[in-house]
Amino acid sequence: MLAALGMLGGCTTLPPLSAPPQAQAYIPSFELSGRISVRHEGDGFSGNLHWRHVLDEDEFVVQTPFGQGVARVTQNAQGATLQMADGQVLHAPDAESLTQQALGFRLPLGGLPHWVQAQAVSGDAVMRHNADGTVSFLNEQGWNIEYLAYQTLGQAGGASVLPGKVFMENTDLKLRLIIDDWQAPAP
């Protein structure tokens, strides 16, 4: 009898030890707040960030750690605008050109709505996953992106797991995002 049970046990298929990673659905409209750090050619800046992304419109507000306004970048189909704390206003066709013109380097604002959610923009990205299925590393468009912490947005059943700490680097620029609060969809 035991031998028969042992043979039956040998015929059963065991479930995989861990399920393959399930991609979080892209969230087209969100708002987040947190902290940003930028390093370029030995110079650096850190401050607070409030970002509202709604379809193809973005608004980034960067403040000093003490809450004083530094810059406001808006981007939509008409182009991009940068308002500096001193009242200076710059315009460009897109946010990447605008940051190049104003700061001397291109922030990857075209891919950032995807990358901040641990999503690839295209099928050419290289990704690695943690044991729980979350993305630990993404390489795309010359950027190496590490996801060092996650947080849960929403309630069980409708909850989304989104990055809380994102470190991005290319050949001449380092960005660090610490996301304190996610809201989706954007209010």
Radius of gyration for the chain, computed over Cα atoms and rounded to the nearest angstrom: 21
- For tokens 């809201």, name the residue: 183
Residues pairing with 85 in the sheet:
none
- pLDDT profile of the chain (187 residues), mean per 10: 38 40 77 95 91 92 82 93 91 91 85 95 94 96 96 74 96 95 83
Q: Characterize 26-40 residue by residue with b for buried, 16 or more Cβ atoms within 10 angstroms of its Cβ, and e for exposed.
A: ebeebbbebebebee
- Indicate the class that CATH gives domain 28-183: mainly beta
Give residue 119's pLDDT.
Answer: 95
Give residue 157's pLDDT.
Answer: 61
Q: Burial level of 75, CB count in 10 A (0-12/13-18/19+)?
A: buried
Give residue 3's pLDDT.
Answer: 38
Give residue 66's pLDDT.
Answer: 77
Give residue 49's pLDDT.
Answer: 95
Instruction: Tell me the CA distances in angstroms from 17 to 13, 14, 20, 69, one per residue in order.
Output: 12, 8, 10, 50
DSSP assignment of 49-108 equals: EEEEEETTEEEEEEE-TTS-EEEEEEEETTEEEEEETTS-EEEESSHHHHHHHHHSS---
Instruction: Tell me the CA distances in angstroms from 74 to 7, 67, 95, one per residue in order.
Output: 67, 19, 8
Give residue 17's pLDDT.
Answer: 38
Give residue 16's pLDDT.
Answer: 39
**DSSP run (H or E) holding 36:** strand 29-40
Give residue 74's pLDDT.
Answer: 94
Give residue 84's pLDDT.
Answer: 87
Give residue 113's pLDDT.
Answer: 94
Give residue 47's pLDDT.
Answer: 92
